[in-house]
Amino acid sequence: MSVERVNVLGVGVSAINLESGRQIIADAIRQKTRGYITITGVHGVMEAQDDPKLKAIFNKAFLVTPDGMPMVWMNWLAGKKHVGRVYGPDLMLEVCALSGVRHFLYGGLNGTATLLERKLKERFPDIQLVGTYEPPWRPLEAAEETALREQVRQARPDVLWVGLSTPKQERFMAEYLPRLEVTLMVGVGAAFDFHSGKVKQAPRWMQNLGLEWLYRLCQEPRRLWRRYLRNNPRFLWYVACQVLGCKKFILE
């Protein structure tokens, strides 16, 4: 299953919208097409500029969804006018609404995964949530990995939702897809916090204007100010260089 991509600073962003993304995932589940899906915005693309291994992880993904409006605008600039934002929390709800899909929640802190499980069951009474695992912040030890592999083997999920931060969740999915018996892994980051009710989402009008970063910065200034100060100006500069042809960004 091949999906057209647009080069955004050397990261191939899938030319999809929410509706087509949901359908591609539904088809992959039905056909047992294995892979991992990254939900990618400016932060992920800029992290990849300094980490060739991370860039390779993005470019080997089954889908790289245009999570932020800048990813959508870059697609439009390339002539892909059908592309729309495929926001992680929205995509999660769309896939959870599919019938017959088995879901596993991996991630969160301090009971977030369990709370999210309860919230999703309230919203989707027929959902098949077959397991949760809230990992330590450090890498898994051998015994923990063995326990996770056995839990996933017994649960037989179609989709394993990964609620870690970027780029941690991308590295986890690339490493663990071959080790876990699951069809798709989807890194949705803050969706765990949003849908569990622990953190408020930005108003839709701010999301549509590409201002969600500002809303989140106001919510978590101590955690996010360095990220946005470092990444946002560099992203604008690099995009200008790519568009004007001053610098080549190769899809590897």
Among 206, 161, 197, residue whose Cα is nearest residue 182: 161
Instruction: Look at residue 6 in the predicted model and tell me its pLDDT.
Output: 98
CA angle 71, 237, 170 (to 5 degrees): 45
Cβ atoms within 10 Å of 234's Cβ, excluding its own: 15
pLDDT computed for residue 137 by the predictor = 87
Which DSSP letter does residue 179 get? T
SS3 200: coil
Residue 8 to residue 68: CA distance in whole angstroms: 12
- Determine contact, residues 66/83, Cβ cutoff 8 Å: yes
4 with 14: CB under 8 angstroms? Answer: yes
Query: Which residues does residue 106 pair with via DSSP β-bridges, in sequence order?
Result: 133, 162
The pLDDT of residue 200 is 84
Judged by DSSP in three states, 109 sits in coil
Tokens 């930005």, located at residue: 202
Q: Which amino acid is at 82?
A: H
DSSP characters for 184-205?
A: EEEE-TTHHHHHHTSSPPPPHH
Question: Model pTM?
Answer: 0.93
* Pairwise CA distance, residues 44 & 169, whole Å: 11
In this prediction, residue 136 carries a pLDDT of: 93
Q: How much is the pLDDT for 198?
A: 86
pLDDT on residue 252: 75
Q: Which stretches of the chain score pLDDT less than 70?
A: 1
